[in-house]
């Protein structure tokens, strides 16, 4: 994100004058624990070195002037509910303003310029990075007094109420609470979290972008959440968290086959997250990798949020002897995350590019991952 600071600052000065403060929040990876957050389960994400940088300055009015460098577009809006701007990208910032105000934050008008380098549609939560940047900044600039957990909830509520995605808390939590060199295990029911140092010697963590753009807004994502809610209700629970496969089997005749498979994946994934944490403490990266593959094929076959491009990348990883690989993010496109031994890295990347291009006519993009800090003032 360092490369974004100068252009963001310079653009702000050219458009709105001097006196802005720079803030940043990262995108995230998630080693394991997908679609468990809104079920009250465990997730295991980390912040990355790509994200959003914004220059922001209060303007002593009741209006926001907002310029996106990436969209090359300015939007001006008020802070009342009826003032929601038209461009969808501006809904994230407007939503953060409104959710902060709903919680008693005294937000005034401000001028802002922002840019990002999180690959869009790659499953790295560019939207959470944007929400977290502005939630953190407004909290500091206007003295709202919220803790980091509440800033994450502000971002989540923005998705729910202004962007049409009934997401869990993981993405925003990782963006706000990220810590350099650590992954964070989050209990999405209690919001308790623990940091795990992540520096696997002899391995590299790399994302391969299928270049299939995902779109979570609307039914594909929300339908899966509804499946989980129906099964939880049939089990007499508020959430699937803590349910066992034995309990699921006992009610199988009462639920649809689709809902059964969705719940089977989620219940298994909760145990896989805890298994990966245990394996990391023991230095057992082979077990970490096996669980990553189990997650991928559960997401593909039971949860049905993968796609043929992601499945191919996971298959290539297995063929190349990669320790672990799975699709990452909400699904329907984006990246695989791969835990690769150093000596296998170059041949794996070459093979993945060659086979993927031969099948689809495009070369997948490769991003090495650096685990970074969360939302902050620069």
Cβ neighbours of residue 67 closer than 8 Å, sequence gap 6 or more: 11, 12, 15, 73, 74, 75, 112, 113, 114
User: In the prediction, which pLDDT does 121 show?
Assistant: 66
Q: What proportion of the chain, given as a percentage, has pLDDT over 90?
A: 86
CA dist 128 and 149 (Å) reads: 14
User: What's the burial of 378, exposed, middle or buried (CB within 10 Å: 0-12/13-18/19+)?
Assistant: middle
CA dist 307 and 29 (Å) reads: 19
Give how many domains the chain has, as a whole number: 2
In this structure, the answer to whether residues 284 and 363 fall within a common structural domain is yes
Per-residue model confidence as pLDDT tens digits over 75-96:
999 999 999 999 999 999 999 9
pLDDT band at 218 (very low <50, low <70, confident <90, very high): low
Active-site residues: which are they?
A: 171
With a cut of 90, say whether residue 168 has pLDDT above it. no
Do residues 278 and 314 lie in contact, with contact meaning Cβ atoms separated by under 8 Å? Answer: no
CA dist 124 and 171 (Å) reads: 8
With a cut of 70, say whether residue 68 has pLDDT above it. yes
Residue 121: what are its φ and ψ, rounded to 5°?
Answer: 70, 10
With a cut of 90, say whether residue 166 has pLDDT above it. no
In this structure, the answer to whether residues 78 and 161 fall within a common structural domain is yes
In this structure, the answer to whether residues 185 and 224 fall within a common structural domain is no
User: In the prediction, which pLDDT does 212 show?
Assistant: 85
Dihedral, 81, 85, 88, 94 alpha carbons, nearest 10 = -50
Nearest to 152 by CA among 173, 171, 168: 173
Per-residue model confidence as pLDDT tens digits over 256-292:
999 999 999 999 999 999 999 999 999 999 999 999 9
Per-residue model confidence as pLDDT tens digits over 311-338:
999 999 999 999 999 999 888 888 999 9
CA dist 321 and 289 (Å) reads: 10
Nearest to 224 by CA among 19, 3, 39: 39
In this structure, the answer to whether residues 95 and 191 fall within a common structural domain is yes
- Give the residue, 331 or 22, on which the prediction is more confident: 22
Where do we find the tokens 């699709």? Answer: 327
Per-residue model confidence as pLDDT tens digits over 131-146:
999 999 999 999 999 9
**What six digits make up the tokens of 154?**
């502000």
Per-residue model confidence as pLDDT tens digits over 99-128:
999 999 999 999 999 999 987 767 788 999
Domain membership of residue 134 as a residue range: 2-196+373-377
Q: Which whole-number Å values give the CA distances from 37 to 171, 224, 241, in the listed order?
A: 9, 13, 9
Give all strands (DSSP E) within 275-362, no chain letters.
Answer: 324-328, 335-341
Burial 353-371 (b: 16+ CB within 10 A, else e): bebbeeeeeeebeebebeb
User: In the prediction, which pLDDT does 331 show?
Assistant: 81
With a cut of 90, say whether residue 195 has pLDDT above it. yes
In this structure, the answer to whether residues 110 and 39 fall within a common structural domain is yes
User: In the prediction, which pLDDT does 219 show?
Assistant: 61
Q: What proportion of the chain, given as a percentage, has pLDDT over 70?
A: 98
> Taking residues 13-34, what's their average pLDDT?
96
User: In the prediction, which pLDDT does 197 show?
Assistant: 86
With a cut of 80, say whether residue 27 has pLDDT above it. yes
In this structure, the answer to whether residues 16 and 107 fall within a common structural domain is yes
CATH of the domain at 83: 3.30.230.10
CATH of the domain at 283: 3.30.70.890
**What six digits make up the tokens of 130?**
């944007």
In this structure, the answer to whether residues 29 and 151 fall within a common structural domain is yes
Is the pTM here over 0.95, yes or no? no
In this structure, the answer to whether residues 183 and 273 fall within a common structural domain is no
In this structure, the answer to whether residues 215 and 186 fall within a common structural domain is no
Q: Are strands 110-116 and 182-187 parallel, antiparallel or unpaired?
A: unpaired
Where do we find the tokens 């070195």? Answer: 49
In this structure, the answer to whether residues 178 and 271 fall within a common structural domain is no
In this structure, the answer to whether residues 139 and 212 fall within a common structural domain is no
H helices of 54-147, where? 88-102, 126-141
pLDDT band at 214 (very low <50, low <70, confident <90, very high): low
In this structure, the answer to whether residues 205 and 118 fall within a common structural domain is no
Largest interatomic CA distance in the chain: 66
User: In the prediction, which pLDDT does 222 show?
Assistant: 82
DSSP string of 170-219, one letter each residue:
HHHHHHHH-BTTEEEEEETTT--EEEEE---TTEEEEEEE--PPP--TTH
């Amino acid at each position: 994100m360092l490369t974004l600071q100068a252009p963001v600052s310079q653009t702000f000065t050219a458009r709105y004058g001097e006196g802005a403060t720079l803030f940043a929040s990262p995108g995230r990876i998630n080693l394991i624990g997908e679609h468990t957050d809104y079920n009250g389960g465990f997730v295991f994400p980390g912040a990355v070195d790509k994200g959003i940088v914004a220059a922001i300055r209060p303007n002593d009015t009741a209006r926001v002037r907002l310029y996106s460098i990436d969209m090359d577009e300015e939007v001006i809006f008020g802070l009342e509910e009826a003032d929601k701007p038209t461009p969808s990208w501006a809904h994230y910032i407007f939503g953060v303003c409104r959710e902060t105000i709903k919680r008693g934050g005294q937000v005034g008008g401000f001028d802002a310029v922002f840019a990002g380098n999180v690959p869009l549609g790659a499953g790295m939560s560019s939207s959470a990075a944007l929400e977290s940047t502005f939630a953190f900044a407004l909290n500091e600039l206007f003295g709202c007094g919220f803790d980091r957990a509440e800033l994450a909830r502000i971002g989540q509520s923005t998705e729910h109420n202004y962007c049409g995605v009934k997401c869990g808390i993981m993405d925003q939590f990782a963006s706000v609470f990220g810590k350099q060199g650590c992954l964070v295990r989050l209990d999405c029911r209690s919001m308790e979290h623990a940091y795990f140092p992540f520096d696997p010697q002899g391995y590299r963590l790399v994302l391969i972008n299928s270049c299939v753009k995902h779109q979570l807004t609307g039914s594909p994502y929300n339908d899966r959440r509804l499946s989980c809610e129906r099964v939880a209700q049939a089990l007499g629970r508020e959430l699937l968290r803590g349910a066992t496969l034995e309990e699921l089997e006992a009610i199988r005749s009462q639920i649809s086959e689709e809902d059964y498979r969705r719940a089977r994946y989620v219940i298994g994934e909760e145990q896989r997250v805890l298994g990966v944490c245990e394996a990391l403490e023991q230095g057992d990266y082979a077990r970490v990798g096996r669980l990553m593959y189990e997650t991928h094929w559960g997401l593909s076959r039971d949860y049905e949020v993968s796609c043929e491009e992601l499945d191919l990348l996971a298959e290539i990883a297995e063929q190349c002897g990669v320790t672990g690989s799975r699709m990452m993010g909400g699904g329907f496109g984006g990246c695989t995350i791969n835990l690769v031994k150093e000596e296998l890295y170059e041949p794996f990347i070459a093979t993945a590019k060659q086979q993927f291009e031969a099948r689809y006519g495009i070369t997948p993009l490769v991003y090495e991952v650096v685990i970074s800090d969360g939302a902050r003032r620069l």
